[in-house]
Amino acid sequence: MSNEVFMSEPQDYVRWSKQVKKIFNLLKDGMVHTREELVNTSGAKNPTSRVSDLRKAGYDIQCLRVSDMGASTFQILEYVGYDTTGKHRCPTCTCKSSTI
């Protein structure tokens, strides 16, 4: 688990939707968060789309399927400054599975 707190570039944060800001504010602690937490925090029906927005903004966000029932977790690993949408894939993000 990471104790690193991630910051956003001011020009990026201003452009983000309210849902993206809420999800970023939850994930920026570098800890693992569930899809349910993302939904409850942001009100987004499909928070993975907002996670994708953060990946496009340069955040490396890991998404893991943690149960056979489809429960998933999300964690910001680092800020790399370029689009990371293809780096971490899982069924929640409609791609390859990574089960822990």
pLDDT tens figures, 19-72: 999 999 999 999 999 999 999 999 999 999 999 999 998 999 999 888 777 788
For residue 99, pLDDT over 50 is answered with no
Closest CA to 72 of 24, 28, 39, 29: 39
Query: For residues 16 and 22, is the Cβ–Cβ distance under 8 A?
Result: no
Closest CA to 49 of 33, 38, 34, 60: 38
Query: Where along the chain do its domains lie?
Result: 10-93
Residue 98, pLDDT score:
42
The CATH label, of 1.20.120, 1.10.10, 1.10.287, 1.10.357, for the domain at 10-93 is: 1.10.10
Residue 37, pLDDT score:
97
